[in-house]
Amino acid sequence: MGSLDGKVAIVTGAAQGIGAAIARRLAADNARVVIGDLNLQGSSKVAEECGHGAFALKLDVGDPESVGDFYNEVEAKAGHPDILVNNAAIVPFIAWDEVDFDHWRMIMRVNLDGVFLMCRAGSDRMRIEGTKGRIVNICSNTIFAGTPNMAAYVAAKGGVLGLTRSLATELGGHKITVNAVAPGLTASEGVLDSPHKEAFDFVEMLQAVKGKGTPDDIAPIVAFLASDEAHWITGQTINVDAGMVRW
Ligand SMILES: NC(=O)c1ccc[n+]([C@@H]2O[C@H](COP(=O)([O-])OP(=O)(O)OC[C@H]3O[C@@H](n4cnc5c(N)ncnc54)[C@H](O)[C@@H]3O)[C@@H](O)[C@H]2O)c1
């Protein structure tokens, strides 16, 4: 018996990093996990590790057609989703002087439009009597810190916080909760492959609890917010960053 017995849980962007840790954790709690990611090879490998009937499908969260096809396939293979974790995002490192409209749109398309498209279609499918739908959006503590070299990203994640609050209101009547988790700097494959990896020492200096954040530090709060037990929490954004941001 796990706390997510009988639940179907979609996790986007789970071919690696924080998403993969979330997928593994939800599966350990007995959810049937469906991974949607651009990287089908990586996500199929994670689905195999998850077990419990997990499977992976190719998905571009920023493309309405891809999102529609994805949900149709999920429905055909696993039925309606109970849990949706919007984790897929591009994590850029780019100086403000180099931010042009193409970059801005590329980030908004995936990091904000993608969350809208997944929630729009996903919440319709959750409005089935008896489904205590759970939506967890992965935000970022950069929205509180105004982290440099990430202007479009920070703006998009601020949008995720706003959407989380408004969707909690829109969907509360259907007993669907909508919350966000805002990680601090976390040693995912994406971060370790970028200039962000140079920031760990500086960030640690600001943390209340010392150490280096890993994807496994983020997954447990997502699993809790996805559980039936968390039914009294909605519209919240929870920082998971060893106390770097205290508000
Ligand atoms: N790692 C951090 O320090 C950190 C901090 C705060 C917030 N976050 C957030 O956590 C989440 C995961 O970050 P990460 O560091 O693990 O990222 P990552 O770069 O390691 O992995 C991102 C995953 O998303 C997938 N993806 C990218 N674009 C996609 C698209 N259009 N459609 C579907 N899948 C797509 C990639 O293929 C990849 O598997 C993101 O929302 C990120 O903004 C990360």
Helix orientation angle between 17-28 and 215-225, rounded to the nearest 10 degrees: 50
| Residue boundaries of the structural domains of the chain | 8-235
Give the pLDDT band of residue 11 (cuts 50, 70, 90): very high
Residue 195 above 90 pLDDT? yes
What are phi and psi for residue 67, nearest 5 degrees?
A: -65, -45
> What is the reported pLDDT for 92?
97
- How many other CB atoms are found less than 10 A from the CB of residue 152? 22
> What is the reported pLDDT for 132?
86
> What is the reported pLDDT for 131?
80
Q: Which residues are catalytic?
A: 153
> What is the reported pLDDT for 228?
96
Q: State in Å: Cα 173 to ligand 1 middle.
A: 31
Distance from C-alpha of 91 to C-alpha of 241, rounded to nearest angstrom: 17
Q: What angle do CA 103, 86, 141 make, to 5 degrees?
A: 70
* CA 232 to chain CA mean position, Å: 20
> What is the reported pLDDT for 76?
98
> What is the reported pLDDT for 128?
81
Residue 247 above 90 pLDDT? no
Q: State in Å: Cα 91 to ligand 1 middle.
A: 6
Residue 9 above 90 pLDDT? yes
- State the average pLDDT over residues 160-179: 97
DSSP state of 128: S
Looking only at the bridges linking them, the beta strands covering 177-183 and 237-240 are parallel
Ligand 1, atom 13: closest residue by C-alpha:
18
Fold of 8-235: Rossmann fold (3.40.50)
Give the pLDDT band of residue 135 (cuts 50, 70, 90): very high
Q: Which residue's structure tokens are 């990091």?
A: 111
Is residue 183 helix, strand or coil? Answer: strand
**Long-range contacts at 165-174 (CB < 8 A, ≥ 24 apart):** 165/235, 167/119, 167/123, 167/135, 168/234, 168/235, 169/235, 170/123, 171/123, 171/126, 171/133, 171/135, 172/234, 174/123, 174/126, 174/127, 174/133
DSSP state of 186: B
Task: Give 210-245 pLDDT, tens digit per residue.
Answer: 999 999 999 999 999 999 999 999 999 999 999 999
Give the pLDDT band of residue 116 (cuts 50, 70, 90): very high
Ligand 1, atom 20: closest residue by C-alpha:
190
Q: State in Å: Cα 41 to ligand 1 middle.
A: 16
Residue 89 above 80 pLDDT? yes
Q: Which residues are 183's β-sheet partners?
A: 240
54 with 11: CB under 8 angstroms? no
Distance from C-alpha of 76 to C-alpha of 89, rounded to nearest angstrom: 26
- Select from 10, 11, 18, 204 the residue to mutate for testing ligand 1; criterion: most ligand atoms less than 8 Å from CB: 18
Closest atom of ligand 1 to 42 CA is 39
Q: What is the pTM of this model?
A: 0.98
Residue 22 above 70 pLDDT? yes
* CA 72 to chain CA mean position, Å: 21
152 with 104: CB under 8 angstroms? yes
Distance from C-alpha of 224 to C-alpha of 212, rounded to nearest angstrom: 22
2 with 29: CB under 8 angstroms? yes
Which residues sit with their C-beta closer than 6 Å to ligand 1? Answer: 12-13, 15-19, 37-39, 59-62, 87-91, 110, 114, 138, 140, 183, 185-186, 188-191
- State the average pLDDT over residues 138-161: 97
> What is the reported pLDDT for 1?
53
Task: Give 33-64 pLDDT, tens digit per residue.
Answer: 999 999 999 999 999 999 999 999 999 999 99
Distance from C-alpha of 106 to C-alpha of 108, rounded to nearest angstrom: 6
Q: State in Å: Cα 88 to ligand 1 middle.
A: 5
- State the average pLDDT over residues 127-149: 92
